[in-house]
Amino acid sequence: AQKITQTQPGMFVQEKEAVTLDCTYDTSDPSYGLFWYKQPSSGEMIFLIYQGSYDQQNATEGRYSLNFQKARKSANLVISASQLGDSAMYFCAMREYNQAGTALIFGKGTTLSVSS
């Protein structure tokens, strides 16, 4: 069963606008972490932001913020003031801490295109 769902194959936004990339997840483990990674065309996976399941506040890192709605099991990434360099593929990922010895579970990704 798919544990991480990203329903937007592609998103288009203009420079300086904000954009939200959707991510929903499924787990029965009360302790887990959610990650967002950016992958430009060069291939490197760049860590953006992390949210723990027990964190009381939504995570923020510069222009990136995570809209974490635990009851709805969603962890959407918000990018404020988009830049041309934000054009890339974005992956949502989860690690269940009860499953020690497992690696990240990735969603299928969303391709973001930022135009001027």
Partner 1 sequence: DTEVTQTPKHLVMGMTNKKSLKCEQHMGHRAMYWYKQKAKKPPELMFVYSYEKLSINESVPSRFSPECPNSSLLNLHLHALQPEDSALYLCASSQDLRQRVRWNEQFFGPGTRLTVL
| Interaction site with partner 1 (CB under 8 A) | 31, 33, 35, 37, 42-47, 50, 52, 89, 91, 95, 97-98, 100-104, 106-109, 111
d(C-alpha 68, C-alpha 103), whole Å: 21
Closer residue to partner 1, CB minimum distance, 13 or 89: 89
DSSP E strand stretches across 6-86? 10-14, 19-21, 24-25, 32-39, 46-52, 60-61, 64-69, 74-79
**How near is the Cβ of 92 to partner 1 at its closest, in Å?**
9
**How near is the Cβ of 38 to partner 1 at its closest, in Å?**
11
